[in-house]
Amino acid sequence: MGAFYYHDELPGTFTDEHNSGKPVSLEQLEKIGVFYRHFETVEEVDVVAKERNYKNRDEIVLSEATFPGGPEALQAKLEVFYKEHLHEDEEIRYILDGEGYFDVRDDNDRWIRAKLTKGDLLILPAGIYHRFTLSNSKYVRALRLFKDEPKWVALDRGTDQAESSFSRTEYLRSVSVN
């Protein structure tokens, strides 16, 4: 089952747990538009996929043992994923095996860390700033779902493209954050 807490902001590697000991409730996540459920089977995910009109899916495996280019290439990819960004579409992940962290910004611009393990489904709304990394296990196998063609271009925080994007504007309006 997923664990949600404020990031401790202490030094260390980004794959460290960074648990501040301050939990975040599912209600707090819902307030910022984040959807979380724990499902034992992919068939349960299929129900949500149908309700939300996700037509396509693929699998991603991030592992030091199998990543093209080896551990150094995986580390470089994780550094890209960990840069704060947003997407024009929802980001949907169902963890099939392993674990990882999604960090999202709350309405006070603090990092909330979502520790996801097998069976966790997380949906981040379009326009929310976030980042991703593996845990120290350095392994996750996840199902990625999307409506049509994925729009996974990362718009980095602080750029005009991100700040003025339609998805960011709509996200802020939907959660009443100015």
Cβ contacts of residue 66 below 8 Å, gap of 6+? none
- Residue 87 is assigned to a ligand binding site: yes
Asked whether the beta carbons of 132 and 100 are under 8 A apart, the reply is yes
User: Phi and psi at residue 159, in whole multiples of 5°?
Assistant: -95, 150
Q: Tell me the C-alpha distance between 47 and 29, whole Å.
A: 21
What's at 120, amino acid-wise?
D
- Residue 18 is assigned to a ligand binding site: no
What's at 163, amino acid-wise?
E
Copy the structure tokens of residue 100. Answer: 């990882």
Coil, strand or helix at 40: coil
**C-alpha distance from residue 65 to each of 92, 95, 141 (Å):** 25, 18, 13
- Residue 7 is assigned to a ligand binding site: no
- Residue 130 is assigned to a ligand binding site: yes
Q: Which residue ranges are tagged as binding site for Ni(2+)?
A: 85, 87, 91, 130
Q: Which residues are annotated as a binding site?
A: 85, 87, 91, 130
Annotated binding-site members for Fe(2+) = 85, 87, 91, 130
